[in-house]
Every structure is written in structure tokens, then in C-alpha cells.
Structure 1
Amino acid sequence: MMSSSAQAPASPGEHHPSRPLRRLTARGRKEAHRVSSPLELFFDLCFVVAIAQAGIALVHAVATGHAGEGVLNYAMLFFAVWWAWMNFTWFASAYDNDDVLYRVVTLIQVAGALVLAAGVSEAFDQHNYVAIWLGYAIMRLAMAAQWLRAARSAEGTERTMALRYAGGVLLCQVGWLGLVVLPEPARAWVFLVMAIAELCVPAYAERACPSSWHPHHIAERYGLFTIIVLGETVAAATTAVKSAMAAHGALGELLPIAAGALLIVFSAWWIYFVAPIHGHLRSNRQAFLWGYGHYVIFASAAAIGAGLEVAVEQVAGQAHLSTLAASAAVTIPTALYLVTLWALHSRHFKAGVVQQLLQPVTAALVLCCTFLGDSAVLAAGLVSALSVAAGVKLTARNAAREHRARAAAA
């Protein structure tokens, strides 16, 4: 079901006229040739700065023996970045008119992400969330302004939906003040309650009227952000290897980690893009479950890079933790990425028990690689690569079988 203003695809002229300001009206869900805009790509790249800062802080926490606290802080900070990114992505898919005001408000959200990134270290080290709250507030107030602008141009149930979004965003932002004003023991509970509240806002708002997000555009946006996060993982691992070599010259000990890292990242990319997902995003229920689940996919993909840095530092003698713990820093997020991607994405394209079990079994084997000592990362990479090869072989075999069956039927 679509709002009345989104029944027909808009022509390019309606979205790229010469006027600097125009009404913020819904775009058509079946609009042809819908792709990511340069502004959206710039938005993603700037948000990755905050993800990189969270990864650096996670590396420091794990390397100094505070893995539990580090993972909790990482999960909280990553939620703020991911949720602001996701809200903008779905809004833009439905309402992007690319006028001057839309661009300015979007750039304000980017500024908020950079403020948040600047406060990551203090949040991890001193549990000071003032900069985090301020950066998140900038992003969320800008998002509420976008929804209010959409409400001004909408009518009926679509206007109700937009106002619910704006009101929910503003109310939640007030609740997040608890991270700043309440004592430290209460902050984990504040995060849990407010995260649930944030997740409920879209479900409540779209009960009035589903927004006109574009399935192909949403799938492309998530895919591009996955590529950027995996690229950050490669960059983090490369920097760690370079630093270790400069300080200790331990090239022979680092080569297995470097090779394993490449195989893990290459496999993560291959598995994500092996089949298009936009055809599965047919309703709000399917799309929201898929979109929300990407919190784990994005967070684990970024955590792989942090884990690789920890593994390099452990080999170079810069991290005060065991080989087992350093290996787990890589294998656990890798396994989590694989099994979550299978649950949300890959299983919809698997035929037969063997194909369905391939990815979960791969995740289990990657976890088993944790206990292989210095070869753990390389073994995890080989297991991931062999899983990709097996998947390609099974897909080709099934395609050949279907072709023979059609030929026989003809």
C-alpha cells in the first residue's frame, strides 16, 4: 500500500528542476532507474569516520584486557551511528528531492556524525557521553526537520505518518539525555530502553501509512555501505600490519594474518553480493526485519577489522592478551557476520539442505579455528574462501540440473 502522492513514478524533471526550493513530496516506489545519489555516497563516507573511531577504541579496549566493557561501549556507539544512517537512508529513498534545503539539512546530519566521532575516545576512556549526545542530537534534530518538512507537503494518513516520525525522533532525543545526566550504573539501562524506543518509532509511524521507499534503491544503499565498511576493515588491517612491520619487522609472522584477512574480507564481500535482495523486500515487515538486522552485519563487519588489528598487535607484542583471545577477536565477528547474513539474506536464495547448511556450518568452522593458535586467522580465511568455492560449485550444479530438466520437459 502506498500513499496517494507516491502512486506514480516521478519524472526526472520533477526532482531536478532549476528551482532551489520545492515541496518535499513522496517519490514513487516503482520509479525507474533509481540509484544512489552523490550526496548519499558522501553521507556514507563521512559516517564511516565515526565507525573507524569506534573500531580504534574497541581495539584499544580489547588489547588492554577490557574486552567485555569495550564490546558493550562499541555496541552502544555503533547503534547511534547505524540508526542515524538507517533513518536517513529510508527517508531519502522515499522523499529525496535534491533541492538546496534538503542538501543543507543532510550536510548538517553529516556534521553531527563528525561531532559524534570526535567524542568516541572520551566515551570509551572516561565514560563521558556529552559529545556523543550532542552529535547524535544534531543528526536527529535534522532528521526531525526533514520529516516536518515532508508533513507540510503531505495530506491525510501520509501527513500523520510524517508527524509521528518527527514526534518520535524528538521524544527519543529527550530520553537520550539520560546518558549525560544520570549516574554511570544507570546508563546501560538507559541505552537499552531508548534503543528499543527508537526501533519502535518506524513501526508506530508507518501503521498510519507506509512510506514509499524504493526496494532497489534500499538494497543498493545497504550494499554500498557494506562495501565501505569492508573497505574500512581492509584499511584498518593494512595500517596495523604496516605499523607492526615498522616497529618490529615481523613480516614472516604477519603474513598469515594478512593472507587470512584478505580471504575473510573477500569472502564477506562475495557472500553478500552473490544474489540480489531487492526482490525480497516486498513489504514493510520483510524490509524492516532485513534492515534492522543489518545492525549486526555492519557492526560485525567493522569489528572484523578491529579484531585483525588486535591479532597483529598480539603477534607484535603490543597487546597484553593471549593468542586465543586475539584469534577470537577475529573469528567471533566473522562467524557472527556469516550466520546473520545467512539468516537475513542468503537463505532466501538457497535450494536444498546442503546449500542451506553451508553458511551456518562455515560459521561454526570459523569459530573452531579460534583454537588453532597462530594459524587461526589464516585458517578462518581459508574456511571462508572454501565455503565460497563450494557455494559457487553447488549453484552451478543446480543450474545445470534445472537446465537439463527444462530441456527434457521441452
Structure 2
Amino acid sequence: MEYFLKHRHATWLELFFDLVFVSSIGVVTHNLAHTHNNHLTSEQIWLFPLQFIIIWWIWTVHTLFSNRFNHDNRIERIFSLTIMFLMIVMAAFFGDDLFQNYPAFVGFYAVIKLILVFLFFRASNQDQHSVSYARKSGYVILFGTGISAFSIFMETPLREIILVSGILIEMLGIYLVSTRNLEKPKPVHREHLVERIGLSSIILLGESIISLTGTLRSVNWDILSIVAAVTGFIMIGLIWWIYYDSFPVNERIKSMTNGFPMLYSHLFLAMGFVIMANVIRHAILNDLNMNEFRILAITGMSFFYIGKQTVYIVFIPPFRKRMTINTLVCIFITIASTFLPKIEYALVGITIGMLFYTFANFKFILTKDISEYVTKE
């Protein structure tokens, strides 16, 4: 596959990779799905972001490589399939007993990252336009993986801090390599990047539907359960509508040359989707106390807004003020809704807030002239 191929699309293997990514996320999501006497344990809460960011970062590094260097040849296919298999096995260690198998888990994670390092080094020998970028990116990933792997010698909580620190160092290092490098790498392929993020997001929304379906199989049907189920689907539909209706604009943003605002904000978007799926689940089952439901709902909605809006706020100034106002109003409605007497009522209120956000975006934001900031269709 040629990098500058017009109308380039994600390969079938990349779509397969996304499915494995989301299946691994599904295992992590399980941490927030089950309550103990109407409570989530502290271990469930902090294990969720820890495990989530690990899977997301593997997906992100693979996407960074594929966007600039993927030729869809046999060697790259074999290594991508190997990563997918290792991700499936690694996901088997996720859950409350993660640290009972921690060395094995870190071992699988390190091997996956070393394969990605090899792919970047290999690309530096094949692509003369981005030799320095590919090689330095490989070294950054190698360094960060070494720091994360060192966590096996530590005890909690230092173990978790070192594990995540390795990822954060990689995130910062690859960004600096892309933006501060004297040998400027070729720009990100916008159309391909937007498509990869859009496809992974729609699959994550699909997981919300699967979660909704599974929840309905075990619910005790009454009027409040029916209201919560209908409201939950409306919420998912509204999220899809407002997210994807303006999504094609991302492909045309003139100043988005490295893609990092979109890539890194995808972490919040993906986590927001997963958290909101659990918010809907707990509202239908009515199996979570209101204080913890409130935290999940506000966090999930906030993450969704961060993930959805970052690119527009960074690159399209006319959107900034109104998006900020819409978000504050919606978060206020979300907070106020969680003080209603029943958890099902709270979900209805949160959905009304999303309905307002959707209407306000179509009325006050998508009508603005942004021709100065985007290419012609």
C-alpha cells in the first residue's frame, strides 16, 4: 500500500486488529460491570484505567506505524497477527487477579512492544523520507517499554506508577520526535487516521449495544427498567449522531499535520464510551448506589466531551466558545440529574442533557463558517 495513495482506506487486517483491540477492551470493561452489595471496590475502579491505557497504547503505537509505513506486505501481516494473538493472551491476565500473574502479563506486554520497535526500525531502513523519525520513535518505544518492564521488581503502588510512567514517557517522546525533529517526517495521512479512529469508535459503541443486550437478558422487567432501557438506547444513538455528523470535517483540517491531538484524545473518547455503557447497565439493573453512579456518569460524560471536542477546539477557533458553553450546560444537567431520587430518573436526565448538546451543536456550531480552516470537499 502506498502512503500517498489517494482515498487510502484501512486495510482488512487493520479492521481485524481493531476487533481484537475492542475484544481486549471488553475484558477490561468487565471490571466496572459487576457490583458488590451495590458498590464498586476501589480495586475495580483503579484497575480499569490502568488496564485500559495499556491496551489503548498498543493500538495507538500500531496505528502510528500503520499510518506512515504500512505496506500491507507478508512480513507486516505476520507481525501484526502475532501482536493480535499476544494481546488476546495478555487479556486473559486482566481482572482482579492481575497482580497474581503480573510478571507474565508484563512479559507479554514487553514482547508486543518489542515487535513494534522492530517494525519502526525496519521502516527506517525502507523509507528514506522518515529515517530519523522512524528510528528515534523506535528508541523511544524501547526506552519506555524498559521502564514499564522494570515495574515487575516493585511493589504496589510504585509498581503501577512505573508501569504507567513508561507509557507516558513514550507518549511525550514520540510527540517530540514528530514535532521537534530537524528532519521533518512526512505528515500524518489524515484520511487514514480519521478512518481508523472512527472505525474503532463505532466498534466500541457496538460494545455498548452488546452490553445493553446482555443486561436486558437478566433484568427484572418493570416500568422503570423499560424506561431505563429505552433511554439507554436513545443515549447511545445521540452519542453516535453528534459524534459522527461532524466527523468528516477532521479529514479536511489544514493544520492537522501530526495527528496527536486526535490520537491522544481518543483515549478519553474510548474510555468515555466504555464508562457510559456501564452507566446505562447499572441504571437498568439498579445495582449501584447513587454516589458511585454519579461519579461514573460525570466522568464518562466528561471523557466523551474531551475526546470528541479536542480536535475542533485545537484546530477550529470558531467552535471553541460555543462548544465550551454547550459542554458546561450539559455537565451541569448531568450533575443535577444524579441528585434525582431514582437512578433510572438520573439516566433520563443525563440523556436530556445529551439531547440538548446535540441540538445546540447543530443549531449554534455546525452552522459556523470554517472554510478558512479546512480544505474544500
TM-score, normalised relative to structure 2: 0.86
How big is the shift at 1:291? 1.5
How big is the shift at 1:266? 1.4
Quick check: 1:381 aligned with 2:351? yes
Quick check: 1:338 aligned with 2:305? yes
How big is the shift at 1:122? 4.8
User: What's the % identity of the aligned pairs?
Assistant: 20
How big is the shift at 1:326? 2.8
**Which residues of 2 match residues 350-369 of structure 1 at below 5 A?**
353-354=321-322, 357-369=325-337
- Structure 2, unaligned runs of 5 or more: 372-377
Using a 3 Å threshold, how does the CA distance of structure 1 residues 127 and 385 change in structure 2: closer, same or farther? farther
Task: Please give the per-residue CA displacement for 1:227-249, whole angstroms capped at 9, x wherever unaligned.
Answer: 111111121122122122xxxx3
Give the whole-Å Cα distance in 1 for the aligned partners of 2:116 and 2:368. Answer: 46
* 1:261–1:308 CA contact under 8 A, matched in 2: yes
SS at match of 2:95: helix
Using a 3 Å threshold, how does the CA distance of structure 1 residues 162 and 188 change in structure 2: closer, same or farther? same
Using a 3 Å threshold, how does the CA distance of structure 1 residues 205 and 238 change in structure 2: closer, same or farther? same
Give the whole-Å Cα distance in 1 for the aligned partners of 2:272 and 2:366. Answer: 29
Give the whole-Å Cα distance in 1 for the aligned partners of 2:320 and 2:266. Answer: 25
**After the TM superposition, which parts of structure 1 deviate over 4 Å for at least 4 consecutive aligned residues?**
61-64, 349-356, 395-399
How big is the shift at 1:115? 1.7
| Residue aligning to 1:108 | 82
Name the stretch that deviates more: 79-88 or 276-285. 276-285
Give the whole-Å Cα distance in 2 for the aligned partners of 1:152 and 1:63. Answer: 57
Task: Please give the per-residue CA displacement for 1:67-102, whole angstroms capped at 9, x wherever unaligned.
Answer: 543232111111111111111112111111111111
Give the whole-Å Cα distance in 1 for the aligned partners of 2:71 and 2:48. Answer: 34
SS at match of 1:334: helix
SS at match of 1:27: coil
* 2:279–2:297 CA contact under 8 A, matched in 1: yes
Quick check: 1:189 aligned with 2:161? yes
Quick check: 1:88 aligned with 2:62? yes
SS at match of 2:245: coil
| Residue aligning to 2:375 | none
Using a 3 Å threshold, how does the CA distance of structure 1 residues 120 and 397 change in structure 2: closer, same or farther? closer
Name the stretch that deviates more: 99-108 or 352-361. 352-361
Task: Please give the per-residue CA displacement for 1:305-356, whole angstroms capped at 9, x wherever unaligned.
Answer: 123233334x2xxx4x423433543343023312442343368385595565
Q: 2:212 aligns with which of 228, 237, 247?
A: 237
How big is the shift at 1:187? 1.5
Larger radius of gyration: 1
Give the whole-Å Cα distance in 2 for the aligned partners of 1:289 and 1:151. Answer: 24
Give the whole-Å Cα distance in 1 for the aligned partners of 2:325 and 2:184. Answer: 38
**Counterpart residue type for residue 121 of structure 1:** G
Q: 2:339 aligns with which of 367, 371, 395?
A: 371
Task: Please give the per-residue CA displacement for 1:133-184, whole angstroms capped at 9, x wherever unaligned.
Answer: 23322321221121121122134x7222222122222222222123322112
* 1:147–1:165 CA contact under 8 A, matched in 2: yes
TM-score, normalised relative to structure 1: 0.80
RMSD of aligned residue pairs (Cα, Å): 2.7
Give the whole-Å Cα distance in 1 for the aligned partners of 2:170 and 2:69. Answer: 20
Number of aligned residues: 362
Give the whole-Å Cα distance in 1 for the aligned partners of 2:188 and 2:368. Answer: 34
SS at match of 1:153: coil
How big is the shift at 1:194? 1.4
Using a 3 Å threshold, how does the CA distance of structure 1 residues 110 and 243 change in structure 2: closer, same or farther? same
* 1:215–1:281 CA contact under 8 A, matched in 2: no
Using a 3 Å threshold, how does the CA distance of structure 1 residues 180 and 281 change in structure 2: closer, same or farther? farther
- Structure 1, unaligned runs of 5 or more: 1-14, 16-25, 403-410
Q: 1:296 aligns with which of 268, 283, 304?
A: 268
Quick check: 1:151 aligned with 2:118? no
Name the stretch that deviates more: 296-305 or 136-145. 136-145
* 1:27–1:96 CA contact under 8 A, matched in 2: yes
SS at match of 1:121: coil
Give the whole-Å Cα distance in 1 for the aligned partners of 2:198 and 2:347. Answer: 25
SS at match of 1:254: helix
**Which residues of 2 match residues 261-300 of structure 1 at below 5 A?**
261-275=232-246, 276-280=249-253, 282-284=255-257, 287-300=259-272
| Residue aligning to 1:9 | none
SS at match of 1:176: helix
SS at match of 2:347: helix
Give the whole-Å Cα distance in 1 for the aligned partners of 2:251 and 2:97. Answer: 37
**Counterpart residue type for residue 201 of structure 2:** T
How big is the shift at 1:385? 1.9
Q: 1:260 aligns with which of 231, 234, 248?
A: 231
